[in-house]
Amino acid sequence: MPPQLKTLIPLFILFILAFLIARHFLVPDSFGKEGHYRFESVEDNKEMPMFYAGNEACAECHDKAAEMEYDMHADLTCETCHGPGMAHYENPDNKLIMPRDRSFCGLCHASNNTRKYKLAQVDLEEHNPGMKCVECHNPHLPWEIAE
């Protein structure tokens, strides 16, 4: 055997062995228990702060959540407009946002040719300029127009 290989082959074997030994110590104990991940990471994730509470949590106190079932915004979650609600759910003194600006409604409803046609769209500059959308439209029941 060439002298080069007499040195290189043991060196490569040593390298692979060192890799396997390092791997043995570096792979976390719970890795692979339930899948290709560190199972204990589930516990770590559980400890992370939660920001969203979900519609059911809102419905525990707010009847209004139920009325939304019958109108165009029925598919939206409360937190889509009011922001993450867990802090409010845990302590009602933490107020949620109540967006009332035209520009907020415009995020979905400002005229934009690229939007799906099913989505109601208005030209914010022409449609009752200066007025707030919520003066006429109840955001929970948008087709219930105020007189």
Q: Which residues bind another protein (CB under 8 A)?
A: 2-5, 7-8, 11-12, 15, 22-23, 26-27, 31, 36, 51, 83-84, 97, 103-104, 106-107, 112-115
R_g of the chain, CA atoms, integer Å: 29
Q: Which residues pair with 141 in a beta bridge?
A: 138
Residues 6+ apart with CB under 8 A from 49: 86
We find the least distance from the C-beta atom of residue 85 to another protein, in angstroms, to be: 10
Beta carbon of residue 108, minimum distance to another protein (angstroms, whole number): 9
Residue with tokens 């792979």: 27
Q: Which is nearer to another protein, 92 or 144 (CB)?
A: 92
Q: In terms of C-beta density within 10 A (0-12 exposed, 13-18 middle, 19 or more buried), how is residue 87 classed?
A: middle
Min. distance of Cβ 1 from another protein in angstroms?
10
Which CB sits closer to another protein, 100 or 144?
Answer: 100
Beta bridge partners of residue 31, listed in sequence order: 38
The number of angstroms, rounded, from the C-alpha of 104 to the middle of its chain's C-alpha atoms is: 18
Beta carbon of residue 131, minimum distance to another protein (angstroms, whole number): 20
Q: Residue 69 or 101: which CB sits closer to another protein?
A: 101
